[in-house]
Structure 1
Amino acid sequence: MTSDTRSRAALLGYTGWRLAKPGVRLVRRALRRDPLPAAVLLRMWWNCWLGLLVYPGARRLARRRRERQAA
């Protein structure tokens, strides 16, 4: 395994866990093992996925702003 492959695997694992964690907590809530209300956990889960979806646009915006400041 090359360093690049390990880095990508680690990034994929971390990102996957961050996206799945609110769902896991929601299951724990159903079992009465999590203190947060289900509505909060659902909102948290929604925001995790929404953040992933808008990330490419945020990167493009940041790049445009950097280029504008450099000019």
Structure 2
Amino acid sequence: MESVHETKENLALNFKIKELNEVDTILGIKVQKHERGFALSQSHYIDKVLEKFRHLNIKDSNTPYNSNFNLS
């Protein structure tokens, strides 16, 4: 935590900063804290893109993918 505090102090010398609570979203990326670390997700962005293309009346298409194929 000492390093975090020092970094904040150094940033404050050059930038206007304010202390916020734990991060929820940063640069459009959702951040979720878990027991073993953090999970980053852009699912909300993907939903927006899909919604945009639905409005353009683009039709679904099958892809030549064998769902029984296992990657190792």
TM over 0.5: no
Higher helix share: 1
TM-score by length of 2: 0.34
Higher strand share: 2
| Structure with larger RCO (C-alpha < 8 A, sep 6+) | 1
TM-score by length of 1: 0.34
